[in-house]
Amino acid sequence: MSKWCKLLLGVFAGAAILHVVKKHMCFNRFLPETLKPFFTPFEHKQVPPKVKSIYPDRQTFAFRHDSPIWIEFDTPMNNATITKETVIVRSSASKEPVDGLLDTGSRMLMFRPYKEYPMDESGAEITITLLGSETGSGFIMDERGIALDGNEDGKPGGDFEYTYKIIK
């Protein structure tokens, strides 16, 4: 047997022994504390998508009675999950959701009301809700199939809510 064959066999034998020791003999118990982090398996946690920004700001919106709302996400979203059932816009002056055009892109959605937002004599609160939790009508998710982290707790799920006030 040549010198290179013996070397190659030794490398494979060493790797096999190390694998068996790590897997079946609790190798970490015998390591000094300073070396244990090098032998801890790395677990990759997928980060759920979040709302990155919303436009317009509350001050600008207060005087625009038909202003569109733009929402930017931090990752590309599954556009099929962004529907009028998962994006709900409501006015405090009406029991029915506000009807309007919902347009989506990879990382953006835009809602534009067909007419002015419903108001009473003092104005109204306009709330946009993005469903990140299963409610029977679905929920918003990214291209990887991970639900929106609407409540920003670092876990998939939870609804995102943002409220504007408009002044009459």
Q: Say what the pLDDT of residue 30 is.
A: 59
> Does 58 share its domain with 31?
no
Q: What is the model's pLDDT at position 25?
A: 53
pLDDT at residue number 45? 75
Residue 134 pLDDT: 78
- 110 and 70 assigned to the same domain: yes
Same-domain pairing of 31 and 95:
no
Whether 149 is in a domain gets the answer yes
What's the half-sphere exposure (Cβ side, CA atoms, 13 Å) at 27?
A: 15
Assess whether 83 and 125 both reside in one domain.
yes
**Structural domains in the chain (count):** 2
- Could you tell me if residue 44 is inside a domain? no
66 and 109 share a domain?
yes
The answer to whether residue 45 sits within a structural domain is no
Residue 26, in any domain of the structure: yes
Q: Is the CB of residue 138 less than 8 Å from the CB of residue 81?
A: yes
One DSSP character per residue, 10-49 reads: HHHHHHHHHHHHHHHS-GGGGS-TTTGGGGSPP-PPPPPP
The residue written with tokens 């998508």 in the block is 49
CATH of the domain at 97: 2.60.40.1220
Q: Is 7 within a domain?
A: yes
**55 within a domain of the structure (yes/no):** yes
**Structural domain containing residue 141:** 51-167
99 in any annotated domain: yes
Residue 129, in any domain of the structure: yes
User: Does one domain contain both 33 and 76?
Assistant: no
Give me the tens of pLDDT residue by residue for the chain, a chain 168 residues long.
677 777 667 766 766 676 666 665 555 555 566 655 655 565 667 899 999 999 998 888 988 899 999 999 999 999 999 999 999 999 999 999 999 999 999 999 999 999 999 999 999 999 999 999 877 678 999 999 999 999 999 999 999 999 999 998
| pLDDT score at 86 | 94
> Do 69 and 119 fall within a single domain?
yes
Detail the DSSP E strand segments found in the chain. Answer: 51-55, 69-73, 87-91, 100-104, 108-113, 123-130, 160-167
pLDDT value of residue 40: 58
Residues 104 and 23 in one domain: no
Both 65 and 30 in one domain: the answer is no
Cβ pair 118, 153 in contact under 8 A: no
